[in-house]
Structure 1
Amino acid sequence: MGHSALAAQFMMHLRYNVAQSLDGFIAPPDESTSWIVPDESIDFDALHASFDYYVMGRRTWDIMRALEPNPCLNKPPGSIIVISRILRQEEHPHIAILREGYIEYIRRLKAKGGKGIWLMGGGWLAAECLEAKLLDGLDVAVMPVLLRDGFKVVDSGLSGWYNLKLQSLEKLDGSGILMAKYRVEYDHEQIASS
């Protein structure tokens, strides 16, 4: 095994873990969350325990910090990374706020090793992490809902398309939610012709 393959083996994985509608949206235009179907069989405590860090945009952080109980608050300071041009670090000492340089920050964070990094939200952020070849996988909870409009899972504007390898698929009988886990395969990436 080569040095780069060995190093990659011990890197922390960045997974985009997100709820989406059947037609591919992570939020309607009003950014509400009432469309997300509840399912008591999902063990959110175990899910949160499987990640050391959270990375998200400001809008996702606004939604997360309003949750009761807030699953992020029991994480150590600096475990939550929010990409924002308007939040001020001194007003949010528990989180790390980045205005720029966040792609390189995520790259360094992955190299530290650990359980994992949860990319929580922002189709634009997911797109940038794909472009930088940092996103290792997508864990998608497909809701039995059609939103018809809103924010896409991954923003358009990518320079190509990406192959995903299905790793698992589970149907939650009580709610009809489909839980799909994919691995991003960069070695099979198709680049659009210019």
Structure 2
Amino acid sequence: MRELTYYVAVSIDGYIAGPDGEFDRFLVEGDHAAPIWARYGGTAPTALAEAAGLPVEGGPFDTVLMGWNTYAVGLPQLPSPYQHLRQIVFTRGHEAPAGAEDVEFTDRDPVEVVRELKAEEGSGIWLCGGGALAAVLRDEIDRLALKRNPVVFGDGIPLFARSSYAPEAFRPTAVTAFDSGVVLAEYARG
């Protein structure tokens, strides 16, 4: 069965973006970049990866899931950001923009969609954002891969939006600290 991995950059105080949706304080260069790309290749928008000379094939994921706000960060320049992956955007009330013919937009229940995806053949499923979608899918997330950055936002979009659920433990599978201050912390359910 396929697994859902929430792979995302996060501040040390638990935000995936600042108060105005900004994420430009996350480090994209440094001694962490190559090792993390080796582990999670294919997780940059296709055009950006190609411009940087990074291969997009052979990564751990063949499907990427996004909420509308995460998807809309790249508009209008990147209406199909991850052309090398199957792209599914969860939205209510937004229409597909021009150039997004290979992006699936759905208002279906995310849990139902993820359960169907897990039953299909393929490799991993990547939840790349955002916090509200992660909260809805919390019980379906098999793995967490958090790129903790040495920055404090103080407010913003939390890793998981507020919701009423009981605490649940994930067990650490790997923690790698880099001189840049980035820490890749990986966890598995239970």
| Both proteins in one fold, TM over 0.5 | yes
CA contact (8 A) 1:52 1:115 kept: yes
Instruction: Give the aligned partner of residue 16 of structure 1.
Output: 6
Per-residue deviation, 1:64: 4.3
1:160 is paired with a residue of what secondary structure? coil
Q: 1:66 to 1:184 in 2, by over 3 A?
A: farther
State the alpha-carbon separation in 2 of the partners of residues 46 and 37 from structure 1.
Answer: 17
> Structure 2 residue aligned with 1:176, among 181, 184, 189?
181
1:28 partner letter: G
Work out the number of aligned pairs and report it: 168
2:92 to 82, 85, 88: 85
Residue of 32, 41, 44 corresponding to 1:46: 41
Q: 2:172, 2:187 within 8 Å by CA — same for their partners in 1? A: yes
Contact 1:17 1:140 in 2 (8 A): yes
TM-score (norm 1): 0.79
- For 1:166 and 1:67, the matched residues in 2 are separated by 37
> Aligned equivalents of 1:59 and 1:51: distance in 2?
21
**Structure 2 vs 1, CA of residues 29 and 87 (structure 1 numbering), >3 Å: closer, same or farther?**
same
Q: What's the Cα RMSD here?
A: 2.1
Q: TM-score, normalising length from structure 2?
A: 0.80
- Uncovered stretches (5+) of structure 1, i.e. residues with no partner: 1-10, 186-194
Counterpart pick for 1:160 among 148, 155, 166: 166
User: Matches of 1:106 and 1:166 in 2, distance apart?
Assistant: 23
Q: Identity over the aligned pairs, expressed in percent?
A: 29
Give 3-state SS (helix, strand or coil) of 2:140's partner. coil
Greater Cα radius of gyration, structure 1 or 2:
1
Task: Give 2:186's aligned amino acid.
Answer: K
